[in-house]
């Protein structure tokens, strides 16, 4: 940075004025799993801002990434006083911006959000202090002296750009009650932010906002209930923060158990199904190819768009319930054919003898490369990945990328003919991922130094029936080490199917704990024993988040090695055969 002050202009997503020390990173940040909702500390141990406190500082990141619950975390931080002074983004981020919208609606608190574009964003590096006034950013080498008379907020919120039906207008006028009115106001405001000119009907919704992030998340739901909220379309609920039927048996602190369980009850009282799963695509109600839906939960969105061919945006928490209450969503993004096209082509590494660790690792790495771009993967045409492989790939991809969709040539439904999913302006250049590149991400996910294993974590996302069957085969006739906790999270419906198939009896004989309603991204002590120091998982998503969420290091491996570690209390520490760096890549045959 040269000179004493640089002035940049951009698009004001949320108007306002604020100043503070600049906190800059070139990497996107997921607020859920990446920021403590009570303190504002960055807890993503893989992020360059790890350990930094956001409160009172101007946070500059390219965009958010990862979880849809980022909106809830930011709303929580605004309500408790630990939020950044302002957000400066390279790309508009709907998840974080929606968190500010809801804080304004419920708490009359806000913070400015400014999008300045990639070129201007790069100029922020090296700055020490920033001042945001609506669409203007001033960047300083030092905090300026003297008093500052901030300009008032000047953003225009008029909904005139969005064409509304007679029923939409009736909802906005309050004819269907206060809850529906506020919900429609937020839907229209988000449509304006996204540049949508009309809304569309959706056939079902999936609510991620039922996760308890703190008092503000409960207050939001309680306020909707006081206003008479009732869903208009079939609605499923994401995993909540506790196993609702067993949290007392699991010795969960009532300070978490009571409000987290209450939050689930409130959304059910609005008419949502008792589903409590982060994998709604495993339910009988899963959407079909081409159906328009309103889903939140990052892995579910990516799976619905990519594997099922349904159509949804990566809806932020709280916009999801607004869509369920109105049955309407902005006609933009992945609801449109043109915006489902691949913007980037990548050839994956050729390898033989793949195991189930390959797909989550590949998804994690491709997500890091993709950023917000929708990729088309080449090279897996004959690999025949299973639905479980695609689930694991998508969850890890959604952890490191902000894109709502991926295509795999010859595999996913819209890419059976790859030429059909390429955007007109997509470069003909095909990037290549090498096994040596994946080795870097393997080491990133394997953060544990000690070979000891205290906890084996399975079911992030929730286990499918076929995963239960595979785990039962691996556990048959064996018993876990007495010092190791091995636990599986799943939805209630899938667990009952596994019970009827005889898998649960085998797993219980082995010593597996079965947890429903919640997921590993919400589980902590005492399900994870206080003395436990090292976890092992086959989930790329959880291997990324666990060091920040629960403060434990992680071994990442395939399911068979997880079971072996549960028996021996030790990780073998070897690389998969397909990742052995001693094997020259040019000698490996195509998949």
Is 67 known to be catalytic? yes
DSSP-assigned beta bridge partners for residue 328: 201
Structure tokens at 361: 């690792």
Q: What residues contact 520, with CB distance under 8 A and at least 6 apart?
A: 457, 459, 460, 489, 537, 539, 542, 546
CA atoms of 84 and 503, how far apart (whole Å): 48
DSSP-assigned beta bridge partners for residue 411: none
Long-range CB pairs of 37-42 (<8 Å, 24+ gap) are: 37/72, 37/73, 37/76, 37/77, 37/213, 37/214, 38/76, 38/80, 38/82, 38/214, 39/82, 40/77, 40/82, 40/83, 40/84
Structure tokens at 458: 């399975």
Coil, strand or helix at 189:
helix
φ, ψ of residue 415 to 5 degrees: the values are -115, 20
CA atoms of 571 and 563, how far apart (whole Å): 10
CA atoms of 104 and 13, how far apart (whole Å): 13
Q: What residues contact 526, with CB distance under 8 A and at least 6 apart?
A: 250, 251, 252
Structure tokens at 426: 């997509």
End-to-end CA distance of the chain: 48
- DSSP per position, 340-366: GSBSEEEEPPP-SS--TTHHHHHHHHH
CA atoms of 156 and 140, how far apart (whole Å): 28
For residue 206, CA distances in Å to 22, 214, 281, 433 come to 36, 21, 10, 34
Q: CB-based burial of residue 382 (10 Å sphere; 0-12 exposed, 13-18 middle, 19+ buried)? A: exposed
Compute the half-sphere exposure of residue 581: CA atoms within 13 Å on the CB side of its CA: 8
CA atoms of 489 and 325, how far apart (whole Å): 29
Structure tokens at 412: 């996913």
Check the CA dihedral 276-388-46-93 and report its sign: negative
Annotated catalytic residue within 12, 30, 63, 67? 67
Q: CB-based burial of residue 453 (10 Å sphere; 0-12 exposed, 13-18 middle, 19+ buried)? A: buried
For tokens 């902590």, name the residue: 524
Which residues are annotated as catalytic?
67
């Amino acid at each position: 940075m040269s000179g004493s002050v640089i002035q940049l202009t951009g698009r004001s997503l949320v108007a306002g004025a604020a100043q503070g020390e600049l906190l800059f990173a070139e990497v996107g940040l997921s607020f859920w799993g990446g920021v403590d909702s009570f303190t504002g500390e960055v807890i993503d141990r893989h992020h360059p801002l790890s350990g930094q406190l956001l409160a009172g500082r101007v946070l500059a990141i390219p965009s958010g990434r990862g979880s849809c619950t980022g909106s809830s975390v930011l709303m929580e931080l605004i309500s408790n006083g630990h939020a950044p002074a302002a957000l400066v983004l390279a790309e508009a981020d709907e998840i974080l911006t929606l968190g500010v919208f809801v804080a304004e609606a419920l708490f009359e608190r806000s913070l400015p959000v400014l999008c300045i574009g990639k070129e201007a964003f790069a100029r922020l590096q090296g700055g020490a202090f920033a001042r945001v006034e609506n669409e203007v950013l001033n960047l300083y080498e030092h905090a300026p002296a003297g008093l500052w008379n901030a300009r008032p907020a000047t953003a225009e919120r008029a909904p005139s750009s969005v064409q509304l039906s007679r029923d939409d207008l009736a909802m906005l006028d309050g004819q269907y009650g206060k809850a529906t009115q506020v919900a429609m106001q937020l839907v229209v405001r988000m449509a304006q932010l996204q540049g949508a000119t009309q809304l569309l009907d959706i056939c079902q919704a999936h609510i991620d906002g039922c996760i308890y992030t703190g008092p503000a998340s409960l207050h939001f739901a309680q306020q909707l209930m006081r206003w008479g909220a009732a869903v208009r379309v079939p609605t499923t609920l994401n995993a909540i923060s506790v196993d609702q039927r067993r949290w007392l048996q699991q010795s969960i602190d009532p300070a978490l158990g009571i409000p987290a369980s209450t939050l689930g009850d409130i959304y059910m009282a609005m008419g949502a199904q008792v589903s409590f799963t982060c994998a709604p695509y495993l339910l009988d109600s899963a959407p079909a190819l081409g159906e328009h839906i309103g889903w939140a939960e990052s892995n579910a969105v990516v799976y619905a768009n990519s594997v099922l061919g349904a159509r949804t945006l990566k809806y932020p928490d709280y916009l999801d319930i607004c869509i369920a209450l109105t049955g309407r969503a902005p006609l933009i993004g992945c609801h449109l054919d043109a915006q489902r096209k691949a913007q980037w082509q990548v050839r994956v590494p050729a390898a033989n003898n793949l195991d189930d660790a390959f797909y989550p690792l590949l998804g994690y790495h491709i997500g890091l490369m993709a950023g917000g771009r929708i990729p088309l993967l080449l090279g897996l045409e004959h690999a025949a990945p299973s639905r479980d492989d695609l689930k694991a790939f998508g969850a890890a991809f959604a952890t490191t990328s902000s894109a709502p969709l991926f295509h795999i040539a010859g595999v996913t439904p819209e890419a059976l003919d790859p030429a059909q999913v390429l955007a007109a302006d997509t470069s003909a250049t095909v990037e290549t991922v090498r096994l040596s590149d994946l080795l870097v991400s393997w080491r990133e996910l394997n953060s544990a130094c000690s070979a000891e294993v205290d906890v084996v974590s399975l079911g992030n996302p929730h286990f499918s029936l076929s995963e239960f069957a595979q785990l039962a085969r691996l556990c048959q006739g064996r018993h876990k080490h007495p010092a190791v906790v091995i636990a599986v999270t799943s939805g209630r419906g899938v667990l009952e199917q596994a019970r009827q198939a005889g898998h649960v009896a085998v797993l219980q004989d082995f010593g597996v704990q079965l947890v429903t309603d919640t997921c590993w991204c919400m589980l902590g002590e005492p399900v994870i024993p206080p003395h436990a120091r090292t976890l092992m998982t086959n989930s790329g998503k959880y291997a990324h988040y666990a060091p920040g969420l629960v403060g434990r290091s992680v071994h990442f491996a395939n399911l068979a090695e997880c079971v072996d570690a549960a028996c021996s209390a030790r990780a073998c520490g070897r690389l998969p055969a397909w990742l052995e760096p001693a094997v020259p890549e040019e000698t490996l045959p195509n998949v």
